[in-house]
């Protein structure tokens, strides 16, 4: 492994460890020493890549959280272009991703993400970032719903934006419920999604 690749690998390890520790301890109770103990490197390795814990946090937001949304959006929007296009199945797959991020194959995602809501009360940068995240999700979900309406699959007597926002609220409510009750039934959420279809 070259020195550059080794450095990039260490940087990614630091980001991944921070992601897990935020879920376990919260940002305020997590120290740089905690992070580097998790990675198995010295504090010097930390400062080779980041100026501060806050600098690391913003890098994590950009490289993990923003990138995850971009991946979901790109994959979903490509599916909307397919023929035939089953919008019900697309929305149910999004719901399944919520489940996987809360209690399934990657349960750290939801726990970490909701820590950012707590941090946003004290940090204007994070608050603005979350507001932008909401705007992006609203636009994305409205696009999905609008496609379903164009295909005659989703009821058209309610605006796409309104249905999209209701689905976002339902998904987030389900996500929070799964954090405290991993055995929560997916059936009710599926029925809610399907209630908008013809």
Cβ–Cβ < 8 Å for 197, 88:
yes
Task: Evaluate the omega torsion of the peptide bond into residue 188 and state whether it is cis, within 30 degrees of 0.
Answer: no
Span 56-73, pLDDT tens digits: 999 999 988 888 889 999
Span 92-149, pLDDT tens digits: 999 888 877 666 656 788 888 889 999 999 999 999 999 999 999 999 999 999 999 9
Q: What is the pLDDT of residue 182?
A: 79
Cβ–Cβ < 8 Å for 145, 163:
yes
Domains defined along the chain, listed by start: 1-50 (1.10.10.60), 61-194 (1.10.357.10)
Span 38-56, pLDDT tens digits: 999 999 999 999 999 999 9
Residue 141's Cα: distance from chain center in Å? 14
Of the pLDDT bands very low, low, confident and very high (cuts 50, 70, 90), residue 88 is very high
């Amino acid at each position: 492994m070259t020195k550059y690749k080794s450095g990039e690998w260490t940087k990614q390890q630091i980001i991944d460890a921070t992601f897990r520790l935020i879920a376990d301890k919260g940002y305020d109770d997590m120290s740089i020493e905690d992070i580097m103990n998790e990675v198995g490197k010295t504090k010097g390795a930390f400062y080779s890549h980041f100026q501060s814990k806050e600098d690391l946090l913003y890098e994590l937001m950009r490289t993990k959280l923003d990138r995850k949304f971009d991946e979901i959006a790109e994959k979903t929007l490509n599916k909307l272009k397919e023929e035939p296009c089953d919008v019900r199945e697309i929305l149910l797959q999004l719901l399944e991703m919520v489940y996987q991020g809360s209690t399934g194959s990657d349960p750290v995602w939801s726990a970490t993400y909701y820590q950012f809501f707590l941090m946003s009360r004290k940090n204007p940068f994070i608050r603005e970032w979350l507001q932008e995240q909401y705007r992006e999700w609203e636009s994305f979900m409205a696009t999905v719903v609008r496609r379903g309406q164009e295909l005659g699959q989703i009821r058209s007597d309610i605006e796409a934006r309104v249905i999209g926002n209701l689905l976002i609220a339902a998904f987030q409510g389900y996500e929070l419920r799964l954090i405290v009750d991993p055995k929560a039934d997916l059936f009710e959420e599926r029925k809610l999604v399907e209630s908008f279809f013809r």
